[in-house]
A and B are shown apart, each in its own frame.
Chain A
Amino acid sequence: MQMLHIISTLAWRNLWRNHRRTVIMIAAVSVGVWAMIFMTALMRGMVNDMVRDGIQSLPGHVQVHHPGFRDDPGINKLLPQTDQDIIDGFATGGFRAWASRIKVPAVVSSERESRGVTLFGIDPERERAITFVADSIVAGRLLENVADTGVVIGQKLADVLDTELGKRIVLMSQDPQNDIADRGFRIVGIFDAKLESYEETMVFAAKETVQKMLRVPNRVNEVVVLGDDYRDVSRLRNRVAELSGPDVEVLPWDEVDGYLGTMLSVMDGFVLVWMIVIFLALSFGLVNTLVMAVFERVREIGLMLALGMRPANILAQIIVESLLLLVIGLLIGNTLAWASIAPLAGGIDISAVAEGMEMFGASSVLHPELIARDVVSANVVVIVLGFFASLSPAWRASRYEPMEAISKV
């Protein structure tokens, strides 16, 4: 304890011996830490927007399917339970939101053009809390109930089909017996999604109407559940699995949408690399500062060794000095980061570049997101790498021969 006291006293006072150098180094660490946290918050905000938008674009947080659905996503891969059983069961789940759907590949035709699309038979009330479509209607209305006979298509698809609100289109797919199942729908709503591909390929009709058309009454092939946090869906997945019974596949969003899941993983890796790169740049300054600090104190180090201080104590002194410098830099850097992110909670308008960003599914307002894990990572990276960066000069200091060191001029 006393050794710790004398080591920390010496480290602290030596730190301020050349205060100009120390202040410059602290400023460098502070700016580095600020950059780590602030830029990470911006990147996190952007990716979060993309992931949230992606999740809103149908996957939800957890999905339930027939085990063969992902290989052959059609009408033959219905869930074993009836839709009513699913509705009754999931009503007891305590989920934030959920919906059962029927989702099949289909061909849509207007009087002029036809296109391949994905037809969603949805419960509009339940989907309102899960998908983007309710908030993206730019003309007409959303479906009113599960028996609505209208259809909602994207703006892009309307352009391609050369059709418009109020006109009729024909949707054609297959029933479980592989017979053609088709029906005419009137366009009651047009939506404008962030991604044009959504507008061009997604068609929404009422669930019961689609079930009738496909001759699968009271059956669905997808259940979507929304939890509270997309980063942690394991408990949600277990709960959904309990309610879904056997012979189904329960998948989290990052497996349903591999692109989104991979993007988040890549982001996590990128954040760590970003922090390490910044610190590596800082570490040159840190090592230089410590080398100079040791070089200037060779005689004192020799003296302390001569008086009976162990080399390990000298090593500890230099490392503590380095850690003190880093901790001060961390405190300032963290404060700066918080102070610069907090005022931006309302979002940063990036509409000037929004068109380009839309390609990636990002919105025109960027909300920096300060995540505790990122702040902890930045601090841990600085402390751990700082510790290792200090080892070399500290080790050299501890290996001095007392008399040689004392004799240095």
Chain B
Amino acid sequence: MKMNTSKLLAFKFAALLAATSGVAEMTPEERGLKIAIESDKRDTGFGDTIVEMEMILTNRHGESINRKMKLRTLEGVGDGDKTLITFDEPRDVKGTAFLSYTHKVDADDQWLYLPALKRVKRIASSNKSGPFVGSEFAYEDMTSQEVEKYTYKYIGDVELDGMNCFQVERYPVDPKSGYTRQVGWIDKEHYRVIKIDFYDRKNSLLKTLTFNGYEQYLDKYWRADTAKMVNHQTGKSTELLWNNYKFNNGYTNRDFDQRSLQNAR
């Protein structure tokens, strides 16, 4: 749940915007893009992370099951991030691993490791709008949020939970997305995403995602420690709890290849 892109492109866009117009003359689209780029820029350079993630899936009757996994991320330079997710619970999927190469424009590359067969399978990645491991998060919500994957529109300045926020709409570029639009609240001080409303293909409010407990790492990068996705149409919800964020692990591409997918726990 973070925004990043290559420094190069971010600077290019920012320079272009600065050269062509002042803030007052910017169109809502230009201003929306500028906020997205700034938010992305502030998260650029984090390098790599590993974090333990717990996923609590709750149905409309209030019954819940937990999934536990480990997320390793390598920041992409000039392209999207690489992510390796290893599952620990529920126990019947323990050892299953999911490797994803996010691309800014092209379809992402994804592989699955099935420990019982010791088999690596490359899987189709066009499943953007489908649920990620049965949760209320779609695959497109879980993969890295490249600036280029949306177009933007600034709506206005609003207050949310005592924070001054930009309200920005974004529209998925990919026609396979499950959304027509997303409305985001981004705090003005740190450019962190606080809340997102997701609208389905019929433009009805589908889900709301809220982030809580932001902490700053390496004096620069903000990470939430919980997030909650509520599906308004089904009454189901999924909560994410992040634990033990570690930066500067020294990961390289080698830690995100087929061999590592098979060996990772």
Chain A bound to chain B: no
